[in-house]
Amino acid sequence: DTEVTQTPKHLVMGMTNKKSLKCEQHMGHRAMYWYKQKAKKPPELMFVYSYEKLSINESVPSRFSPECPNSSLLNLHLHALQPEDSALYLCASSQVQGLQSPLHFGNGTRLTVT
Amino acid sequence: DAKTTQPNSMESNEEEPVHLPCNHSTISGTDYIHWYRQLPSQGPEYVIHGLTSNVNNRMASLAIAEDRKSSTLILHRATLRDAAVYYCTAKAGKLIFGQGTTLQVKP
C-alpha cells in the first residue's frame, strides 16, 4: 500500500472519450506531480503543482489537462487521446517542490486508448 | 538538469552486498542525488538521497564521491525482494529519471 492513492487502477477509453484520472494524498504535502511511463522506460515528468499552482509543464499536449482543486487532490483530465498515449500514469507528492524533498509515488493508472 | 548514467543491468547473489553505480558528471552544486527503485507493477519507491556526505538509512547506504560526479547505492545484504529497477536522479526542482539499472538477485 502507498500513501498516494490513484484511481482508477485501469482505464480503457476510446479516442473520442473524455475521462479523468484522480490522485489523492493526506500527508500534508504541498507539491504534486504527474508522470507518464511507457513499458520498459523510465517515468517522464509531465506536470508539477506547487501550493496548488501549476509550476512546471513539460510541453505536454493540450489533450492532457491537469487540475489541482486543493492541496490533497490532483486530477488529470483526458480528451481526444491517441493510441500512443497508452501508458502507466503515475502521481507523486512531496512535502514541497524543493531540492531535498523525496517523492512519494502512487501505483499508477494503466491507461489503454483504443 | 543533470544527466545520469547507470549500467543497464546487474546481477547479485542473495545475502551478498550490491553496489549500484551512477555517474552524474554534470551535476550542479545544489543538486541532491536521489535514488528510487521500482518493482514490477508498482510506482517508484524512494530509497535514499544525499548532497555531499555519505548517508545511511534502513534500506541502503549512499556513497557520494568527493567531486560529486558519481555515487554508489549500497544494499548491504540483497534479498529476492530487492530485485527491481534502480533509478539514480539529480534533483533540482524537478525529478528527471535516467534509464535505471535492472537488478537481478539470484537465490
Strands of the sheet containing B101-106, edge to edge, are B9-13, B101-106, B84-91, B32-38, B45-50
Lowest mean pLDDT among A34-43, A97-106, B77-86: A97-106
Q: Which residues of chain B are within 8 Å of residue A100 when distances are taken between CB atoms?
A: 32, 49, 51
Q: Which residues of chain A are within 8 Å of residue B41 when distances are taken between CB atoms?
A: 107
What does the pLDDT look like over B33-59, one tens digit per residue? 999 999 998 999 999 999 998 999 999
What does the H/E/C string look like for A38-90?
CCCCCCEEEEEEECCEEEEECCCCCCEEEEEEECCEEEEEEECCCHHHCEEEE
- Measure the CA–CA gap between A24 and B8, rounded to whole angstroms: 33
Q: Which residues of chain B are within 8 Å of residue A3 when distances are taken between CB atoms?
A: none
Grid cell 507523486 in the structure block, residue: A92
What mean pLDDT is predicted for residues B64-79?
Answer: 95
Q: Which pLDDT score is estimated for A99?
A: 73
Q: Which pLDDT score is estimated for B19?
A: 98
Grid cell 486530477 in the structure block, residue: A75
Could you give the 3-state DSSP secondary structure of residue A29? Answer: coil
- Measure the CA–CA gap between B79 and A70, rounded to whole angstroms: 40
Closest residue in B to A110 (Cα) is B41
Question: Is the Cβ of A89 closer than 8 Å to some Cβ of chain B?
Answer: no
Cβ burial, residue B91 (10 Å; 0-12/13-18/19+): buried
- The answer to whether the Cβ–Cβ distance between B95 and A33 falls below 8 Å is yes
Q: Which pLDDT score is estimated for B1?
A: 62
- The answer to whether the Cβ–Cβ distance between A105 and B45 falls below 8 Å is yes
What does the pLDDT look like over A50-106, one tens digit per residue? 999 999 999 999 999 999 999 999 999 999 999 999 999 999 999 988 778 899 999
Closest residue in B to A48 (Cα) is B94
What mean pLDDT is predicted for residues A11-18?
Answer: 94
* Pair B48, B73: CB distance under 8 Å: yes
Residues of chain A with pLDDT > 70: what percent? Answer: 98
Q: Which pLDDT score is estimated for B91?
A: 74
Q: Which pLDDT score is estimated for A1?
A: 54
